[in-house]
Amino acid sequence: MLKAYKYRLYPTKEQQEMLFKHFGACRFIYNWGLEQKIKTYEQDGKSVSRFDLNKGITMLKRDGEHEWLKEVNSQSLQGATLNLDNAFTRFFREKKGFPKFKSRKNPVQAYNVPQNYKVDFENNMIYLPKIGNVKTILHRSLGNGDLKTATVSQTSTGKFYISILVDDGGENLKKMEFSENDTVGVDVGIKDFAIMSNGDKIDNPRHLKNSMKRLKVLSKRLSRKQKDSSNRNKARKQVAKLHEKISNQRHDFQHKVSAKLVSENQAIAIETLNVSGMLKNHHLAQRIADASWSSFVEKLEYKAEWYGKTILRIGQFEPSTKICNVCGKYNGSLTLADRKWECLDCNTTHDRDINAAINIKTFALQEQNLIGI
């Protein structure tokens, strides 16, 4: 099983300069490789392989104009061509969008270290090729697995991190058996972040909304600064720090909720949502983005894999909200404003979200409605 461990780096000024050289060189190779692929396809109708691009990197180092590429780790340069290859794979297989050229103005930069790095827990150091031993906060063990690719990154606030991929050699845990009693249906929402089929509700903390007043002040200050000035860069960092705080709050909240759900249930039933389509509703887009449902579902899925739990999905067109969970009556007149409604057949009064969560669980436990199980 593959797991990633992320640690904060504290490089010296000299080491920061070398990190910036690696960021720039890998970005240059990525853009150069993308240009080569586009030109070759336009001229010959053929695709350039990653291995041909790697041979081209050697030729670039030999000409006088690009000798500076010798100053950085050669395997990291080849990692840039691998990233480009993966981007084209996602484009053709998953229709994720054609690869774009990377900008040096992007405050978020990263490069890969495929091998030859070393982790020293005794001295809180990580050795990086061409850079040396970098002070690191190694706050948790990597275990006894094999170290795979490491990724060094810089955030928009100027912090440096390293993410290490580890293969522990073990297989995914066998899925535990589940029944109706140990399965919970979860309906995500805006007013309440998550509503369970057992009637429990988890409030939506609305991290972005709570910081919006301060964010508007900082954004206005940024807009008034002269472009490319040092004061504008300082103002940009202030905005970036607040966005980073909001993001950290959101991820912390979602990790706690997802861990609680996975630990307390053998199976979790969720609804497949077209989030990108829902974001086109300009009245609710900001609240939907603040809730970040896709990120929450992703955390549920990989934690369920870790602990042998099951995620059940139902189709996005299942009418979970409009069907009475008692008698099955369909209420076609229900609108988004109706938070409670009464069934005309059995006279049961429903809480809109709890009824939806119960129906999600019911639909998921019906074999014909399961997706990807």
Residues that are catalytic: 187, 271, 353
Single out the residue of 263, 251, 307, 257 nearest to residue 1, CA to CA.
Answer: 307
How many helices and strands, by DSSP H and E, does the chain display?
A: 9, 14
Compute, in degrees rounded to 10, the torsion defined by CA atoms 73, 76, 81, 85. Answer: 170
User: How far apart are alpha carbons 58 and 78 in whole angstroms?
Assistant: 10
Contact between 194 and 360 under an 8 Å Cβ cutoff? The reply is no
C-alpha distances (whole Å) from 329 to each of 120, 146, 293, 342, 346 are: 63, 55, 29, 11, 9
| CA-atom Rg of the chain in angstroms | 25
Q: Using CB atoms within 10 Å of the CB of residue 321, give its burial: 0 to 12 exposed, 13 to 18 middle, 19+ buried.
A: buried
User: How far apart are alpha carbons 113 and 76 in whole angstroms?
Assistant: 5
Q: What is the per-residue DSSP string for 216-250?
A: HHHHHHHHTSPTT-HHHHHHHHHHHHHHHHHHHHH
Q: Is 311 helix (H, G, I), strand (E, B) or coil?
A: strand
Q: Helix %, strand %, coil % for the chain, to 5?
A: 45, 20, 35
Contact between 186 and 194 under an 8 Å Cβ cutoff? The reply is yes
Q: Pairing between strand 146-154 and 160-167?
A: antiparallel
Q: Is 271 helix (H, G, I), strand (E, B) or coil?
A: strand
User: How far apart are alpha carbons 371 and 314 in whole angstroms?
Assistant: 6
